[in-house]
Amino acid sequence: MIVRDPGLPFLPGFPLGRVELARLCSLLLEALGLRGCRFDLRLVDDAGMAALNRKARGFPGPTNVLSFPSGEEPRKGAFLGDLVLSVETLAREAHLYGQEPTEHTARLLAHGLLHLAGLEHGETMDALTETAVEAAAGAFGRAFAQIP
């Protein structure tokens, strides 16, 4: 399920509609070998993310994505957990890193999904994230510049 916090702005060029996000999430799950798994995604602003980051991790300020694994083994039909994505941080980082908005969205979602599947930061996570982003880019075409 995809939930947008009330009052969250729609940003031009970002795949933040339900249809676009659902398609992107589906592509990423398949690319990561998690086809058939489920998760919930919540889109928030920086203020919402900062409050959640402080409560969940004890860190001040917003972050880009938070993962809350369910503890279920990643298998078909499993509920992996919850992801929370800060739309404002996403927009800022995409601009800062010179990435297409959809590419950066895919990167953050893939990273979060891998945490839900039990992976920790490191070379394996980085490689799998990039593989998933490339697979999604191939499906979306034109390096994510347009979403059909």
CATH number at residue 13: 3.40.390.30
Q: For the stretch 23-59, what's the b/e string if a residue is b when 16 or more beta carbons lie within 10 angstroms of its beta carbon? A: bbbebbbebbebeebbbebbbbbbebbbebbeeeeee
- What is the pTM for the complete model shown? 0.89
Between helix 18-31 and helix 123-140 the angle, nearest 10°, is 130
pLDDT > 90: what percent of the chain?
A: 64
Residue 112 near residue 129 (C-beta atoms within 8 A):
no
Number of domains in the chain: 1
Judge whether 115 is annotated as a binding position: yes
Q: 67-92: per-residue pLDDT in tens? A: 999 988 888 899 999 999 999 999 99
CA distance 148 to 136: 13
Judge whether 121 is annotated as a binding position: yes
In terms of residue numbers, what domain contains 82?
2-144
DSSP character string of 87-142: HHHHHHHHHHHT--HHHHHHHHHHHHHHHHTT--SSHHHHHHHHHHHHHHHHHH-G
Q: 11-47: per-residue pLDDT in tens? A: 766 766 778 888 899 999 999 999 999 999 999 999 9
Judge whether 111 is annotated as a binding position: yes
